């Protein structure tokens, strides 16, 4: 028998919702077949089968929420294996009952009876020496254990780089990796209750954290704690950009394309990254990675949080192409239909709150990127030209830099390059 485990569909995923099964008990499953749909903290994604066999049992019913990564969700039997009595369906971890915030105390309930023992424990998910999870099918882990193959040295050929049977069978035996120590629990939340901090029970409504909000809290806490941030702010006159946008949209009207201010800023970010390639970088333990393309991640607000779909190689794309791609990505982001490669990675981020009237702000860096640009509202302000007072449309932008990668001089060069492209958009065509 082989257990199908809840997959980790993104580096930040710890649990998900098993939204839909495309198979049932008794079905024959082939490698690469779409067997289920999983809702993660960011998107709904299809899951492909890695192993082949007959579905012995569905262990987690569709619609189950809070299913932990690597928990068994279904069981396959191989060709020639005898069928066994199906185990009772497994359930996702139930959320605790809400704690009463008023004067009434919650009634005590009897402890649930212990669940029957499973047929056998699922093989533990292996980890590399640095503690990173190694993604491998249950059958591949079993064969690796029997042959003494170190999975940390095996390259996976399955979906999303997962190690499958063929990868292990072709690997040379070696010492099995030592299990890593348990990672410390994530920090960030206060260990004290609100009542201990002076906010009385019953004076607030508690909204439980969903997967997206937990991920945002963890990633941004890690980023702000571990990355030495520093901001660089500058005012940019955008009258010429606004005039250029009117002419561009008039020229593209027959194509049904309407370029936004944000589309132009994406292009300007990409051009500035090519002009100052030292800013298009990420910090790694092995060295500073200088990226070949400007993959600009754009913050999009969706229900319950934020996601950053990516315009890949933005320096090579026209404004019309960027506009079409951004509209498509934003629409699918709000429907949680993005693929992992459409929102994971990126070399630079852009966050624009100008449409909300925010004058200026500084964002937290989106790892592993080295910079993020925060864009405020364009507004008419007094400016001095040739000793004379004039009025111009001005917006304030702030570049937040990872000082390990982008120091002050590099950041200042990038800001000046960006300012030049925005204030004179024709230069982006050169």
> What span, in angstroms and rounded, lies between the C-alpha atoms of 150 and 154?
7
CB-based contact 297:371 (threshold 8 Å)? no
Collect all residues with Cβ–Cβ distance below 8 Å to 188 and sequence separation of at least 6. Answer: 217, 218, 221
Residue 186: is the preceding peptide bond cis (ω within 30°)?
A: no
Distance CA 22, CA 318 (A): 40
DSSP track, 207-243: ----HHHHHHHHHHHHHHHHS-EEEEEEEEE-HHHHH
Per-position b or e across 212-221, b if 16+ CB within 10 A of its CB: bebbbeeebe
Catalytic pick among 160, 229, 293, 403: 403
What six digits make up the tokens of 63?
A: 């619609």
- Residue 289's DSSP bridge partners are 282
| 76-82 long-range contacts, CB within 8 A, separation 24+ | 76/1, 76/2, 76/3, 76/4, 76/29, 76/51, 76/52, 77/1, 77/2, 77/53, 78/1, 78/2, 78/52, 78/53, 79/53, 79/54, 81/1, 81/53
Cβ density class 230-251: b for 16+ within 10 Å, e for less? eebeeebbbeebeebbeebbee
Residue 403 among the catalytic residues: yes
Within 10 A of 427 (CB to CB), how many other CB atoms are there?
14
**How far is the CA of 279 from the CAs of 49, 114, 314, 394, in angstroms?**
41, 56, 15, 24
Pairing of strands 44-48, 53-58: unpaired
Residues labelled as active-site residues: 403
């Amino acid at each position: 028998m082989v257990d199908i485990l809840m997959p980790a569909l993104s580096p930040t995923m710890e649990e998900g919702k098993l939204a839909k099964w495309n198979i049932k008990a008794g079905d024959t499953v082939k490698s690469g077949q779409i067997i289920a749909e999983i809702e993660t903290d960011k998107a709904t994604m299809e899951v492909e089968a890695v192993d082949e066999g007959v579905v012995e049992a569905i262990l987690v019913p569709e619609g189950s929420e809070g299913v932990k990564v690597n928990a068994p969700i279904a069981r396959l039997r191989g060709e020639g294996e005898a069928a066994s009595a199906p185990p009772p369906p497994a359930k996702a971890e139930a959320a605790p009952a809400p704690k009463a915030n008023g004067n009434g105390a919650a009634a005590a309930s009897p402890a649930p009876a212990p669940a029957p023992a499973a047929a056998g424990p699922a093989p533990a998910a292996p980890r590399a020496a640095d503690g990173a999870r190694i993604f491998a099918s249950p059958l591949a882990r079993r064969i690796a254990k029997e042959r003494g193959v170190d999975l940390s040295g095996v390259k996976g050929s399955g979906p999303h780089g997962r190690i499958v049977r063929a990868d292990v069978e072709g690997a040379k035996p070696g010492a099995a990796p030592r299990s890593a120590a348990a990672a410390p629990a994530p920090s960030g939340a206060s260990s004290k209750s609100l009542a201990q901090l002076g906010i009385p029970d019953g004076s607030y409504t508690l909204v439980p954290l969903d997967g997206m909000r937990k991920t945002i809290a963890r990633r941004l806490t890690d980023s702000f704690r571990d990355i030495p941030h520093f901001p660089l702010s500058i005012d940019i006159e955008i009258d010429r950009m606004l005039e250029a946008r009117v002419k561009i949209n008039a020229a593209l009207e027959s194509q049904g394309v309407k370029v936004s201010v944000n589309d132009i800023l994406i292009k300007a970010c990409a051009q500035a990254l090519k002009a100052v390639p030292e800013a298009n970088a990420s910090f790694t333990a092995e060295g500073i990675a200088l990226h070949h393309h400007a993959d600009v991640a754009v913050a999009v607000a969706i229900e319950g949080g934020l996601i950053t779909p990516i315009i890949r190689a933005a320096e090579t794309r026209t404004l019309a192409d960027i506009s079409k791609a951004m509209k498509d990505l934003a629409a699918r982001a709000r429907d949680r239909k993005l693929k992992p490669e459409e929102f994971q990675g990126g070399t630079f981020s852009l966050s624009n709150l100008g449409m909300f009237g925010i004058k200026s702000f500084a964002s937290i860096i989106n790892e592993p990127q080295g910079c993020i640009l925060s864009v405020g509202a364009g507004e008419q302000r007094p400016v001095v030209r040739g000793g004379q007072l004039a009025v111009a449309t001005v917006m304030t932008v702030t570049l937040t830099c990872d000082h390990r990668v982008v120091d002050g001089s590099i950041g200042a060069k990038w800001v000046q390059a960006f300012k030049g492209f925005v204030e004179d958009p024709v230069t982006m065509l050169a």
